[in-house]
Amino acid sequence: FERQMRQRKRHTGDNADGATVSKKLRRLRSAQHQLKLNARVVEHDKRHLRSVYGEDCSMTGRRRHTSCLALRASINDRLANLERHFIDPDGVPGREWYKHALFGPEPERWIGETAHQPFPALAAALESQDSRRLRLSEKGIADIIHEAAWFLRED
């Protein structure tokens, strides 16, 4: 995610009114920060699982075994379902069939080519130089990332 943010920052530069786009993406940076913090919670849970229960949950004692399996299932469920939270039901403007909010194929590429575009809705808004569309795209993507971040914290 951080790499995608750096790529987006490199590609955006200045907009028409001279202000850098990166300064205007405060919501997106805040969402990214929250996702990073909550990903650390999952990493902490993984370390706790290994240090307390070992690698395979095969310790003696039914109660500890059940706790280990529950923690492992919680971690696995959060990681396995995280990607689903990055889906935007409205899709990318102009390409509504494409629903992923964080990355997508570049427009006008042939099928099979491997060019990916970080934050396709933001890229489309920047290309159109529509500041309202940019604000709405940023808010929508930030909301999606915040939702994913909080999903990581759930147990």
Identify residue 4 by its one-letter amino acid code.
Q
8 Å CB contact between 130 and 102: no
Each residue's pLDDT expressed in tens, for the chain with a length of 155 residues: 555 555 555 544 444 443 455 567 899 999 999 999 999 999 999 999 888 888 777 766 777 888 888 999 999 999 999 999 999 988 887 788 889 999 887 776 656 566 678 898 988 888 888 889 999 999 999 999 999 999 998 75
Q: Check: CB of residue 124 under 8 Å from CB of residue 94.
A: yes
Cα separation of the two ends of the chain: 23
Cross-strand pairs, 8: none
Distance of alpha carbon 30 from the chain centroid: 12
Distance CA 76, CA 111 (A): 33
